[in-house]
Amino acid sequence: MTDKQNDTNDKSIEIQFEREKLKKTMGESTPEPEIVKKEFVPNFFPTYRISRRFYPLPIIIVIFCAGFLAYVTYVLAGVQIEGGYVSEEEHGIAAGLINGLIFVGIAAISSFIIIFLVKKGGIDVLKYIFGFSFGLLGFILTLFFGGIIIFLLFLYLPEIFITSYIISSYILLFGTGVFTIFIIYRYFTTKSILTKNLIILYISLLTGAFFGILMPLWTTLAILIGISLWDIFAVKSKRGPIKEMIDIASQNSLSDDLTEEELQEKIDSGEMIYDTSKLEIGIGDLAFYSMLTSAALIITGSLIVMILTTIAIMIGTGITIQGLKKNKILPGLPISIFLGISTMLLSWYIVSIL
């Protein structure tokens, strides 16, 4: 290479350097990442659909409705039953751990059975599974809490109204059956997102309130921590049942004929991000959020602790939503539940020493 060539190369480098410097001086910014829309899961999946900016709304509604039901049942009606397979009163923390393991184990086994049935019978099998689950939970829990409300209404009335109470109980039984059939029919036939959202909220708050009053402290913590860890595996692992279910249910329409691997590379590099303007919050997430806050109210007896726990859950959900820009799906429980439990225990301690 001659000296003349070296001079030419040096000048080229200098010109390139000056160009880069000029771009920075003029404030030239990096291009905005391309937004990739996600394929939403089928309409019959039990998810609450909402715009991102309103995501706290269903969480607040389900938490405070569940908390009200739990308070009415546990405090006003005096229904205080210790749930779980092993008594905490007799065996303490060990009982809570055992109860948590049993509960999470049943949930895990059920998930794999469902995936097996879907692979054998197709995605429509889920309609029957969801329909049966909604029917069972809706009927039992509506009957339970409806009975509590009727009991409280007649509690302070004279004995002459005892006949009316018995008649009301039969009406409740018949009405609950009709109502349960109605909501299942509406859920699987309506195209209204609002109707489906209301049904999701209803089942979630009943489930959260029921477990919130039923499970003692250590069992509650063990269930919530265990199911959150399971949620991570179920959603993020290649063999996770929730991930498999979503993959089977959704059809990927990738931008510019990209493969899923190529799309993920562009997402990781920042060239693309997922659209998070619309969200889907799972019925399980709402149920366990309200279980934790209902338990916080019942166990600690403090509305302040419940409110602080609710705020922590919403912050955790916000953090999870931010992560959705780079992930097609994320487990909704871990961050929110861990923040919620930490806040509950810390605020409970602070309130108790004040």
In a domain, 217, yes or no: yes
In a domain, 5, yes or no: no
* pLDDT-based confidence at residue 40 (cuts at 50, 70, 90): low
In a domain, 334, yes or no: yes
**pTM, 2 dp:** 0.85
In a domain, 6, yes or no: no
In a domain, 19, yes or no: no
Which residue segment(s) compose the domain that 151 sits in?
31-353
Answer whether 112's CB lies under 8 Å from 234's CB: no
pLDDT tens for 313-326 read 999 999 999 888 88
Q: What is the pLDDT of residue 38?
A: 67
- Residues of the chain with pLDDT > 90, as a percent, come to 53
Q: What is the pLDDT of residue 33?
A: 74
In a domain, 15, yes or no: no
What token pair was written down for 152?
Answer: 């409280």
Q: Please determine, for residue 26, whether its predicted confidence score (pLDDT) is greater than 60.
A: no
In a domain, 312, yes or no: yes
242 vs 204, residue with greater confidence:
204
1 vs 240, residue with greater confidence:
240
Q: What is the pLDDT of residue 273?
A: 79
How many structural domains does the chain have?
Answer: 1
Q: Please determine, for residue 72, whether its predicted confidence score (pLDDT) is greater than 50.
A: yes
CA 99 to CA 85: how far, in whole Å?
6
pLDDT tens for 300-312 read 999 999 999 999 9
In a domain, 121, yes or no: yes
pLDDT tens for 102-117 read 999 999 999 999 989 8
